[in-house]
Structure 1
Amino acid sequence: GGAAITAAILNVAGAGDEIVAASTIYGGTYDLFAQTLPPLGINTHFVDPSDPANFEKEINDHTKVVYAETIGNPNANLIDIDAVAAVAHKHGVLVIIDNTFATPYLYRPFEHGADVVVHSATKFFGGHGTTMGGVVVESGKFDYEKSGRYPTFTNPDPSYKDVTWAKLGAGAFTTKIRATVLRDTGASLSPFNAFLLLQGLESLSLRVERHVYNAQRVAEYLSKHPKVAWVRYPGLADSPDHALAERDFPKGVGSIFTFGLKGGEEAGKQLIDNLKLFSLLANVADAKSLIIQPASTTHAQLNDEELASVGITPDLIRISVGVENIDDLLADLDQALAKL
């Protein structure tokens, strides 16, 4: 996934260019944008994605990408991708959307204005935590000539016999990635890993349907438990994103979300230690259920100010609900919470 995102950015941006990104993204992506790309001359403006106007405020002559996730990691916040894409396209800027948490079964970003979609295939595509991989897909509809922002697409490329990538039409973005970025950086998926991911895709819709069903039940259970302080899941009626969930996610809003306990950070650690069926693991979207505290793991590289900007508090627990029997999952949570 990291390779897919990096390749997608390097395909259109270089020294002096800028990205406008939702602040509510995966910690690894945030670190890529905030720490790894700036020494290469690519800088990012992070914005609160709840208002599409925030993206427009940061777009300037150097902007090459507007970037967001369909379902934010880890807080499962939703964004009006249609509105964000409309803002970006008004200024001729390419829209890249990470659709890892939603998968194409729950949400198809191209139907909402995205130009390029990236996935961490390590997650739902593989489905069993056995394989790492990334995917980059393009809509084929972006007009680089009309935009005027992408000379590497509209001018001849001397590194590839002076081909003009924009003239390739619908396959311009991904052809350029394969012919230049992949060629020069070497992030190539092995044949066996590709085989495992293709095996996972065969059961994607079946698994995601069960993931969503279980997640809704677990979220409802936690929201009513006396030891739980809060739950952030768009499938709950009291979620600020519930209306958007009903509009854009008729099949459900994934199986990864967050919650906090009234006992705070220490109670969260005790809960994780008490669980028997849930695994303490930094991955998500496995067939088995997973649980973790992002502030000390997936987002540990962020400072306190950055953690606050992405909505991560010390008490926050991220849960990835698997496909086990729902009664077993609820029983495990019940016995673990009872020990607090």
Structure 2
Amino acid sequence: MTETRQYGFDTLQIHAGARPDPATGARQTPIYQTTAYVFRDAEHAAALFNLQEVGYIYSRLTNPTVAVLQERIATLEGGAGAVCCSSGHAAQIMALFPLMQPGCNIVASSRLYGGTITQFSQTIKRFGWSCTFVDFDDLDAVKAAINDETRAIFGEAIANPGGWIMDVRAVADIADAAGIPLIIDNTTATPYLVRPIEHGATLVVHSTTKYLTGNGTVTGGCVVDSGRFDWSASDKFPSLSQAEPAYHGLKFHETFGNLAFTFHSIAVGLRDLGMTMNPQAAHYTLCGIETLSLRMERHVQNAETVAGWLEKHPAVDHVTYAGLASSPYNALAKKVCPKGAGGLFTIALKGGYDACVKFVDSLEIFSHVANLGDARSLVIHSASTTHRQLSPEQQAAAGASPDVVRISIGIEDADDLIADLDQALEKVS
């Protein structure tokens, strides 16, 4: 591919990072199912281990199949580099790892996936980190939550489960003023609908398990580095700006410039945390990304149709889909994600908890699973599953109250989806 030409998204989702295999000419990226790689000689091995040369050492760190996926996602997001790992939750820890020290904190949206809220409110305490949750619609509250020990702001471009839209640019301006990075989870939006780096984000994380793979076969995660943050502007990020003892005093930002975060995440993060993506998972995800734009267009089209129908149903109290004209996020959605508001939203049923349970159990085409972003339409009652560990107050803040059901719209025939929802709601009524 010609380096000077600006290729379109549909071309990049197929070709970015991929080249015919030099040994066989294979056009599809091979699955390099190997743990280790032969060095040319002792000098070559030493240079690799000393970060003086880029190459393959051991598949906990780098793998050719995974490397193609990293380059493709980074290209689609408009980032300088990317690091893939074993899951979306692993990606969140990988994103925070180079930034945090014991006693540091992050400011996060209160409207996050339930597992993320648990990870940030409970698990990261074991590292000596803490998190303050804030309603990101209240920008003054975001500013007020930042203190001298804050090292990042974290939010979702399109929030799970409710599909609310985040004003990424407004929060990015706050992060810039505080001299800290903004981390955006772009799982629900994908780079086809939202490119957070263009809105000022420093880092972008994905659960590649969801829309990027799109077929419910493998788990994976990714951290994309914008390459735009000055890690040496203050003493807040010593892992990146100061001497690294494990590499004889090497300073990552001084040495690697806009790829400092990416190199640190591989050379230290994957080395020591071991949250490695396996090459077969990378292969499935690469195959999935080839049709990302086509799938997202259908997800959006179906979601708009189904959400519009649900909004008028007498058993439904309200629908949270930002693509509806009635949504308070509709105007922001047109600005942040003009191609559509995604395929995820919630509905509140007038019959409350019992109605939600009966509704979920009555569906036939919709699969009752703890996943989203599949080609299949999926449903789950968040309060009793993905958000069960949260307090009632946290559930309400996250949009996962007991009367709410999360719906992930797939790419099936919209009329069939509506018919299935109709028969299930009829049983609830």
TM superposition score category, shorter chain reference: over 0.9
Q: Which amino acid aligns with 1:40?
A: F
- Between the aligned partners of 1:261 and 1:20, the Cα distance in structure 2 is 32
Taking every aligned residue pair, what percent have the same amino acid on both sides? 48
Indicate if the aligned counterparts of 1:47 and 1:55 stay in contact, CA closer than 8 A. yes
Per-residue deviation, residues 54-106 of structure 1 (Å, max 9, x unmatched): 21101111111111000111111111110100011111011110000000000
CA drift at 1:292: 0.6
CA drift at 1:117: 0.3
User: Among residues 81, 88, 95, which one is paired with 1:8 in the alignment?
Assistant: 95
Structure number with greater Rg is 2
Task: Give the corresponding residue for 1:208.
Answer: 296
Secondary structure at the counterpart of residue 217 of structure 1: helix
Per-residue deviation, residues 242-289 of structure 1 (Å, max 9, x unmatched): 110111211101101000111111111111111110010110010000
CA drift at 1:306: 2.2
Indicate if the aligned counterparts of 1:52 and 1:80 stay in contact, CA closer than 8 A. no
Structure 1: give runs of 5+ residues left out of the alignment.
Answer: none
Most deviating of 330-339 and 201-210: 330-339
User: Closer, same or farther in 2 for the Cα pair 1:311/1:331, shift >3 Å?
Assistant: closer
Task: Give the corresponding residue for 1:124.
Answer: 211
Task: Give the corresponding residue for 1:269.
Answer: 357
Q: Stretches of 4+ moved more than 6 A in 1?
A: none
Q: Which amino acid aligns with 1:82?
A: R
Please give the residue correspondences for 1:23-34 in structure 2 after superposition, counting only pairs within 5 Å: 23-34=110-121
Task: Give the corresponding residue for 2:386.
Answer: 298
Secondary structure at the counterpart of residue 266 of structure 2: helix
Task: Give the corresponding residue for 1:321.
Answer: 409
Per-residue deviation, residues 147-199 of structure 1 (Å, max 9, x unmatched): 43212211110012221111111111111011111110111011111100100
Secondary structure at the counterpart of residue 57 of structure 1: helix
User: Among residues 103, 108, 126, which one is paired with 1:21 in the alignment?
Assistant: 108
Indicate if the aligned counterparts of 2:183 and 2:203 stay in contact, CA closer than 8 A. yes
- Between the aligned partners of 2:243 and 2:395, the Cα distance in structure 1 is 42
Please give the residue correspondences for 1:175-214 in structure 2 after superposition, counting only pairs within 5 Å: 175-214=263-302
User: Among residues 83, 87, 97, which one is paired with 2:174 in the alignment?
Assistant: 87
Secondary structure at the counterpart of residue 44 of structure 1: strand
Q: Which amino acid aligns with 1:258?
A: T
- Between the aligned partners of 1:211 and 1:305, the Cα distance in structure 2 is 31
Indicate if the aligned counterparts of 1:65 and 1:96 stay in contact, CA closer than 8 A. yes
CA drift at 1:34: 0.4
Most deviating of 216-225 and 159-168: 159-168
Indicate if the aligned counterparts of 2:216 and 2:374 stay in contact, CA closer than 8 A. yes
- Between the aligned partners of 1:148 and 1:90, the Cα distance in structure 2 is 16
Per-residue deviation, residues 197-229 of structure 1 (Å, max 9, x unmatched): 100010111111101100111100000111111
Secondary structure at the counterpart of residue 219 of structure 2: coil
Task: Give the corresponding residue for 1:231.
Answer: 319
Q: Which amino acid aligns with 2:109?
A: A
Most deviating of 74-83 and 303-312: 303-312
- Between the aligned partners of 1:300 and 1:155, the Cα distance in structure 2 is 42
1:242 aligns with 2:327: no
Q: Which amino acid aligns with 1:154?
A: S
Secondary structure at the counterpart of residue 233 of structure 2: helix
- Between the aligned partners of 1:251 and 1:305, the Cα distance in structure 2 is 33
Structure 2: give runs of 5+ residues left out of the alignment.
Answer: 1-87
User: Among residues 326, 330, 333, which one is paired with 2:418 in the alignment?
Assistant: 330
Indicate if the aligned counterparts of 2:98 and 2:237 stay in contact, CA closer than 8 A. no
Indicate if the aligned counterparts of 1:215 and 1:254 stay in contact, CA closer than 8 A. yes
Alignment size in residue pairs: 340
Task: Give the corresponding residue for 1:259.
Answer: 347
Task: Give the corresponding residue for 2:3.
Answer: none
Task: Give the corresponding residue for 1:75.
Answer: 162
Most deviating of 193-202 and 302-311: 302-311
- Between the aligned partners of 1:151 and 1:81, the Cα distance in structure 2 is 26
Most deviating of 104-113 and 139-148: 139-148
- Between the aligned partners of 1:191 and 1:309, the Cα distance in structure 2 is 38
- Between the aligned partners of 1:309 and 1:117, the Cα distance in structure 2 is 23
Q: Which amino acid aligns with 1:108?
A: R
Indicate if the aligned counterparts of 2:231 and 2:253 stay in contact, CA closer than 8 A. yes
CA drift at 1:146: 1.7
Please provide the CA RMSD for this pair.
Answer: 1.0
Per-residue deviation, residues 12-36 of structure 1 (Å, max 9, x unmatched): 1120111011110111111111000
